[in-house]
Amino acid sequence: MKKLQCVVVAALLVAGVLLQGQTVEGPIRIGFLVPLSGPYAQNGRDILNGFLLLLDEIGYRAGGREIQLLAEDTEGIPAVALTKARKLVESDGVHLMAGGLLSSTGYALAPYIDSMQIPMVYPVVSADDLTQRRGSKWIVRTGYTGSQPNHPFGDYAYHTLGYRTIATIALDYSFGWESVGGFQRTFEEAGGRVTQQMWTPVSVHDFAPYLAQISRNVDAVYALFLGRATLQFMRQYEEYGLKDRIPLIGAGTTTDEHALPFMGDEALGVITALHYSAALDSPANRAFVSAYRARYNKLASYYAESMYSGGKWVIAAIEALDGQVDDREVLLNALRAARLTDLPRGSVELDAYGNPIENVYVRRVDRVNGELQNTVIDTFPRVSQFWNYNPAEYLAQPLYAR
Amino acid sequence: MAEPDAALGGPRPPSNTESMSPRGWRLAIVLVLGLVFSAGPLLFSSYWVGLLTQMVILAILAMSLDILLGYTGLPSLGHAAFFGVAAYAVGVLATVHGAGFWTCVAGGLLVGTLLSAVLGLIVSHVRDVYFLMITLALGMVLWGLSFRWIPVTGGDNGISDIPTLAAHSGLPFAGPLALYYVTLLVFIACAGVMALIVKSPFGLTLRGIRENEGRMKSLGFNTWLHCYLSYVIAGAFASVAGVAWAYYNGFVSPTYLDLTASSELFLMVTLGGPATLVGPVLGATAIVLLKNVMSAYTARWLLVLGIVYIVTILVAPKGVWNLGPSGRSR
């Protein structure tokens, strides 16, 4: 027994010494950070799956060099994400990093990314200020800002859907505030009014107290949820008899494909806006969705698409440099200059702040061939994070908050 | 934890049944820990220096819980709250108010200690499982506050952009190595003071309360006051760790004081060996090491970690530090 303990201690020490002696040459190393355990594991898994699918398609090679993926689990905890980022950069010597899911992680990593001057791709983290008031040179966002799809959607809700008064109910954190804030701004500028706002804790288990409070006199309810919460909300919204009385609209995650297959008729007719839909009818998207289904046997969510496209972004930059990615400044510029036209979500380019200009799709949940899908019913082409506002004036105003 | 502490002069049964005596085992642990903590950073890469810094800070935190859990016998499941609140104080002072280094340090220590002084008034009346539950509840309240008091704490996003130690304190040496050795000095100072406390008559009284509070009362000791002070002392040292952690990570978030953090801390003390002070250091070191090494090799690292916990509890119910013939025969 004692000998065994000594051996274990010795082995751990030896492992420690060996682990730090890895060199930087050879393949292109991409560090990847998402939650693979904890409450956000499923979303994190989707993001990773999208990337793995892409890497498989290109045979783990780009620009004449082998691609090596080093995936680390952040557990959805910012401090853990930072520790793992330190490992990837300082111990594994990655050329660039990608990943992140929660805004809290995005903000926690930003100062470290800046201090280490390592190019970082955020495929999902949607906290507005990461490419606005607190922008970082080294962060390239290939996803969206929380308010980005909601600016056109507020306009759409007033002019096309014809709503005049709306109640909002959303998760009480920055993704919720920024989405609702963006929606409210354009909706009220068009002439509508948000008459009631409710915020639920992220850990919400029962929506009964909130649903009882919803005013019955509004034209529609705007909801923002994801994961387990959105399944629960949809079901209770119907159980409370609200579905037949007040139309439900919301942010893209509320009916996103990570949750949609687990919903029933209660989701039918819900209208949401996002920069992606798995039902998007383009050759690139059809190919992606069917390849994803063939490999993982499930519907591609926007999380999966985010890193499939984010991966394409990275690969495009590597190809543009013929694999010469060792100069981080050059790699960063290549990432910022990349312009992709054949992504599943459509054509995308970065603005001067490192955030994509991309289409926003208005989607309605329909049942097609027995399966629920987000049918695209309208498209706002080339939407910037600043919508139609002047960036300088936009940035002079405070961030959307409660 | 209801046995006299052998390391501090309690009766130790003769050990001749196995080749390695508990004394030899403990000497080996202290030597390895001492060697790794003192010379390790000079050999390892900066990532490992970062992990060592984590270990040292969490060791201070685990030792502070040990005063409460091991020596006084009060199982707290909300101890990470003081750690987190002190870190928040540093974050708010440094970023919102632009305060200087010493103001931030003093502010962090003061807020954490004052909080424990206030909460101590509530929790010192109860024992055992009631203590566990009330500290759990208070910990959750503080976590909720950090999450929902958005104007001050930034909610889920937390507070980032806390300046680095070197930039903020005007220390002439920057970089992870300097941060590590500063933290190590703080650790040694804290460990020294805590060792003095537990060896003092006050510390012996705490152990007396752990063993039999009724008897201590009948001897004329004010056991409520002793438990209260033990709680405040533990809170104060947890605040030291919180301040160090804020500078190490450069940001604060609600996860610092959630239940997972508190229970992981509880595990560090229990696995290492309660009422030993060295045990929690060992526990903190082992858990940080296991978490970070395991997760690099397998996606099922939580499973491995769980198995390690169970096996350790089975093989060494009194903690790894107490492993050995005497530890198991008692």
**ipTM, 2 decimals?**
0.84
Burial of B98 (0-12, 13-18, 19+ CB in 10 A): exposed
Question: How close B211 gets to chain A, by Cα (Å)?
Answer: 31
* A57-78 mean pLDDT: 92
Of A77, A91, A104, which is closest to B45 when you measure between CB atoms?
A: A91
Cβ-defined contact of B295 to A110 (cutoff 8 Å): no
From B320, which residue of chain A is nearest by alpha-carbon distance? A5
The token duo for A240 is 């409370």
Q: Give the pairing type, strands A339-343 and A346-350.
A: antiparallel
Is the pLDDT reported for residue A218 higher than 70? yes
Q: What is the pLDDT of residues A94-149, one digit of tens each?
A: 999 999 999 899 999 999 999 999 999 999 999 999 999 888 899 999 999 999 99
**Token pair belonging to A361:** 């799709």
CB pairs A-B closer than 8 Å? 105
| Angle, CA A231 vertex, CA A206 and CA A163 arms, to 5° | 90
Of all residues in chain B, the percent with pLDDT exceeding 70 is 92
pLDDT confidence of residue B328: 45
CA dihedral B280, B284, B287, B288 (to 10 degrees): -170
Question: Residue A101 — φ and ψ, nearest 5°?
Answer: -130, -50
- Compute the mean pLDDT over every residue in chain B, rounded to the nearest whole number: 88
Q: CA separation (Å) from B19 to B12, B23, B273, B317, B318?
A: 17, 11, 22, 21, 20
- Contact predicate A325/A95, CB 8 Å: yes
pLDDT (0 to 100) of residue B65: 96
DSSP label at A333? H
pLDDT band for position B12 (cuts 50, 70, 90): very low
Q: Which of B170, B146, B163 is nearest to B97 (CA)?
A: B163
pLDDT band of residue B330 (cuts 50, 70, 90) is very low
Site of tokens 């916990």: B309
In this prediction, residue B299 carries a pLDDT of 74
- B201 or A37, higher pLDDT: B201
Reported for B26-29, long-range contacts at CB under 8 A and 24+ positions apart, including other chains, are: B26/B278, B26/B321, B26/B324, B28/A6, B28/A9, B29/B278, B29/B282, B29/B320, B29/B321
- A181 φ/ψ angles, rounded to the nearest 5 degrees: -60, -45
Alpha helices in A160-276 (DSSP H): 174-190, 208-213, 227-239
The whole-angstrom distance between B200's CA and the closest CA on chain A is 33
| pLDDT at position A11 over 90 | no
SS (H, E, C) B200-247: CHHHHHHHHHHHCHHHHHHCCCCHHHHHHHHHHHHHHHHHHHHHHHHH
Cβ atoms of residues A70 and A94 within 8 Å = yes
Closest of B70, B30, B59, B62 to residue B198, by C-alpha: B70
Contact status of A18 with chain B (Cβ, < 8 Å): no
B-chain CB neighbours of A33 within 8 Å are none
Query: In whole angstroms, how far apart are CA A43 and each of A163, A281, A304, B33, B299?
Result: 32, 24, 8, 39, 15
The CATH code for residues A150-274+360-396 is 3.40.50.2300
Kindly tell me the sign of the dihedral angle through the C-alpha atoms of A38, A40, A46, A50: negative
pLDDT at A9: 57
pLDDT value for B294: 84
pLDDT at B7 over 80: no
Average pLDDT over residues B52-56: 95
Residue of B nearest to A126 (CA): B157
pLDDT in tens, A186-211: 999 999 999 999 999 888 889 999 99
How far apart CA A362 and CA B169 sit, in angstroms, is 52
Distance (Å) from the C-alpha of residue A234 to the closest C-alpha of chain B? Answer: 24
Look at residue A257 and tell me whether its pLDDT is greater than 50.
yes
Mutation to test the A interface, candidates B88, B156, B161, most A Cβ within 10 Å: B156
What is the average per-residue pLDDT within A217-229?
94
- The secondary structure of residue A74, as a DSSP letter, is -
Each domain of chain A, given as residue ranges in start order, spans 28-145+283-354, 150-274+360-396
Residues A260-282, mean pLDDT to the nearest whole number? 95
Q: Is the pLDDT of residue A305 over 80?
A: yes
A319 pLDDT more than 90: yes
A401 CB neighbours in chain B (<8 A) are 150
Mean pLDDT of chain A: 91
pLDDT at B214 over 70: yes
Q: Is there a contact between A108 and B160 if contact means CB atoms under 8 Å apart?
A: yes
Task: Tell me what pLDDT residue B18 has.
Answer: 46
Q: Kindly determine whether residue B160 and residue A172, on different chains, have CB atoms separated by under 8 Å.
A: no
CATH classification for the domain delimited by A28-145+283-354, as one of 3.40.50.2030, 3.30.750.24, 3.30.1330.90, 3.40.50.2300: 3.40.50.2300
Distance from CA of A75 to the nearest CA of B (A): 10
What is the least distance, in Å, from the CA of B14 to any CA of chain A? 17
Percent of chain B whose predicted confidence (pLDDT) is above 90: 65
Tokens of A200: 């639920």
- pLDDT, residue A205, reads 87
Where in A270-355 does DSSP place strands (E)? 271-274, 339-343, 346-350
Supply the pLDDT for residue A15: 53
- For residues B302 and A36, the answer to whether their CB atoms sit within 8 Å is no
Phi and psi at A367, nearest 5°, equal -105, 120
For chain B, domain boundaries: 50-259
